[in-house]
Structure 1
């Protein structure tokens, strides 16, 4: 499995989730976006729906009917009723259940850097996990770093 650490420096969580979710959808994959706070999940949902015109990203809550049909689920739990193989941990909190996914994107800000470093070392010690770090460029793109 692969864990991508995304260090937020320029764009806020909602903008970053929108960019990453669009790439996941373009790759033909399904996605689970995890955040403990219901208000954050609702805000992320509005951001995804509000992309504008035909560019919206269809999504729904994991605890509602027809969750299995949603291309993007928003959930407090790290589970995939829609059979997603990718997850975004939008609230920056690691959950051991995330290891069930093929790829996990952990978003964290500068205040959580020390926690992210500790988690990085813990996951790097596991042979089955491939860690990568991505840092935002001044232009808003992402580059893989060290």
Structure 2
């Protein structure tokens, strides 16, 4: 049974934080799906990942291609077709309790400077923990990532 990690972004933007989490996930040997809510935003993110540092290349693809199932990191707005071990959601994308329980990890990244995003994350925390999912809340407010809250459900 997996857990859901909430990442409250206040200092670094998504395009700086996401590659760090993707690298750690790939180092763990996981296949990853990144789920968003808008195709244009996912295309933008795809371009940002391609333009990253050469020594930090992150193998990935944008959903809709012929090799989606083979992608180590798949950017999508729908169900993951690459058999992920880890799901990372952005921009308030939905995640269901059964997904959390079926995966090694689910990470929810949200913009701490956007009141609607913070409210959406609070609703997701309550919904998922009420459904029995374990959750950990991380904040970078101090300048480094710190665990601020944890709810472990058995």
* Residue 105 of structure 1 pairs with residue 121 of structure 2: no
Shift of 1:78: 3.2
- 3-state secondary structure, aligned to 1:117: helix
Q: What residue is the counterpart of 1:143 in the other structure?
A: 146
- 3-state secondary structure, aligned to 2:17: helix
Q: What residue is the counterpart of 2:129 in the other structure?
A: 124
CA contact (8 A) 2:89 2:109 kept: yes
CA contact (8 A) 1:88 1:106 kept: yes
Which ranges in structure 2 are unaligned for 5 or more consecutive residues?
Answer: 150-154
Q: How far apart are the structure 2 equivalents of 1:7 and 1:78?
A: 24
- 3-state secondary structure, aligned to 2:34: strand
Shift of 1:138: 4.3
Q: What residue is the counterpart of 2:152 in the other structure?
A: none
CA contact (8 A) 2:37 2:92 kept: no
The alignment yields a C-alpha RMSD, in angstroms, of 1.8
Q: How far apart are the structure 2 equivalents of 1:12 and 1:78?
A: 25
* Residue 6 of structure 1 pairs with residue 7 of structure 2: yes
| TM-score, normalization by structure 1 | 0.87
Alignment of 1:1-146 (within 5 A): 1-79=2-80, 81-96=81-96, 98-99=99-100, 100-110=102-112, 111=115, 112-127=117-132, 129-139=133-143, 141-146=144-149
| TM-score, normalization by structure 2 | 0.83
- Following TM superposition, the consecutive aligned residue runs of length 4 or more in structure 1 with deviations greater than 3 angstroms are 97-100
- 3-state secondary structure, aligned to 2:74: strand
